[in-house]
Amino acid sequence: MTVETTSPLPGPAHRPPAPRRLRRWVARRPLTAFTVLVFAAGWPVLAVPALSAHGVLPGGALPVEPFVLAALLLVMLPAALGVTAVVDGRPGVRALLARALQWRFGAGWWAAVVLGLPVTTLAVGLASGRTPTVDGAAAVLLDAVVSIGTALLLVNLWEETVWAGFLQTRLQRRHGPGTAAGLTAVAFAGIHVPLQLTGEVTVASVASAVGLLLVLGLLVRVLAGVVLAGTGGSVLAVAVLHALFNASTAEDDLVDRLLSGGAPLPLAVLAAVLLTAAAAAALRARRRAGRQRAGRPGAAHRGR
């Protein structure tokens, strides 16, 4: 009598379940997974106002703000937290969210984050011959505190949890600060492409809008990298900086109203460059002083 023996043939039934394979892929390629998810799910959400404005979807012109908020809170933030959970587990998620509330980073850095951009932009504007607004300045400042605080809590804090806390930080660990700033700026400009299609669409108009986003994004990302290094990785610091950058560049916002109107963007760009240079110099000086203290005789013994 013969006994037939069969060995299981390799096939789909013996492959790991799809969710497990997906988790393995995310763990191996976290940045790729994040980018694919954000663009695949975020672009359709952000494209609704453009599709509606051009008659592809019913409803006519729609405000873009609700769709920006939806893409941020329903796509981008969950993607960043989800990928972090796969790669670093729950402790990694808690650490990322803790950085969004990290407020202890020194009075000097707080002054740079809160006052640096608006004050420097005002100074550049005054130096260029712009006229300051004196009457009603208190009301302008009060309005700005409310609007900036609202934007910070609803948008910028969670936006920078994604950009600074997740993407730029991970890129910097792998590629260094310069490349991280550049790649994050590309992703930032790229996700905003659908929002540039709501008006009259030409190749030139879209290219110029995306190009401006890329330049501004790179400027902010370089400054954000310096601030992250100076504040011990505080996402809150970068979020405040982002909110104040918007208030310094937008027409009919804080700096524009204090300078009696006009185009504040070129002034804010120059101010951001100056602030980045000053903050980077302060950071280098602090690191140099730390190395000198560490190199003194007896420093290691005293640190025990």
The per-residue pLDDT for range 289-300, each reduced to its tens digit, is 888 887 776 554
How much is the pTM?
0.88
pLDDT in tens, 116-144: 999 999 999 999 988 888 788 899 999 99
Position 215 scores a pLDDT of 96
> What is the spatial distance between Cα 286 and Cα 229, in angstroms, rounded to a whole number?
11
pLDDT in tens, 238-261: 999 999 999 999 988 999 999 987
Calculate ∠ Cα 240-258-226, nearest 5°: 30
Residues in contact with 5: Cβ distance below 8 Å, sequence separation at least 6, in sequence order? none
What's the sign of the alpha-carbon dihedral 281, 282, 286, 287? Answer: negative
Q: Does residue 3 register a pLDDT over 50?
A: no
> What is the spatial distance between Cα 269 and Cα 249, in angstroms, rounded to a whole number?
8
